[in-house]
Structure 1
């Protein structure tokens, strides 16, 4: 049996355009790092934002929380760890941890996204195909609702 894909990690190199005049990552770019993390997390399940959109489901962010601990700088390699908080319903929630090459925590974050039916312009339940893929994995450490 394959290892559960509850958490995914990717590495990114900080580009010059992502920094301010002091060579420190501009705070607004962390939301983009989180997006890269969750897009790749979904991709591990064979699901892409593009395919969801083609099926009439969008995932707008409805909540973003960020806690900055240390600065990332130009040319640093950072690791973005993305974890599903609980089984999705009409929303899907992720926690993030960004660390540097020394393993120091730079940033912690959380996003909540809502599944949106494009044709109705209203929230909808998580697509069944995503829930089916997630059912195969162990979520015993999650704060799932009964």
Structure 2
């Protein structure tokens, strides 16, 4: 299993009239954490795209438990529990600075060959970077 932690401060523009994080912003929080998680491996989304591979989201699940609020410091714990193949699933747990669980969710992405516009296996360098986390 691969895990990573990222923090985001809730900006005023990300809240609704009630002062709560607008529900659509959770997908953006997931994306930022996912991007930074991949960067932590030494391989960025940008580099994957330069290798001719893109990662479109094919599934998004989001569970709202408590509202995030303006100026909260949100900690996002992100996990890859299964070895990535053509698909890669990211799971998220978001908590505020008091440790209260606010949100859980997941996204599933597919590796796609940008030239063929078809699903493909992850690039070899990505597989090598992930291997130690899955007992290889």
Interval of TM-score (by shorter of Structure 1 and Structure 2) = over 0.9
1:137 counterpart SS class:
helix
Q: Is 2:53 the partner of 1:28?
A: no
What do the CA deviations read for 1:4-30 (whole angstroms, capped 9, x no partner)?
x82111111000111111111000100
Cross-structure match for 1:60? 56
Which of 106, 120, 125 does residue 121 from structure 2 map onto?
125
Cross-structure match for 1:143? none
Shift of residue 127, structure 1, vs aligned partner: 1.4
Cross-structure match for 1:75? 71
> Where does 1:1-146 land on structure 2 (aligned, <5 Å)?
6-138=2-134
Q: Which has the higher helix share?
A: 2
* Cα RMSD (Å): 1.4
Q: Runs of 5+ in structure 1 lacking a partner? A: 141-146
Shift of residue 63, structure 1, vs aligned partner: 0.3
* TM-score (normalizing by structure 2): 0.95
* TM-score (normalizing by structure 1): 0.89
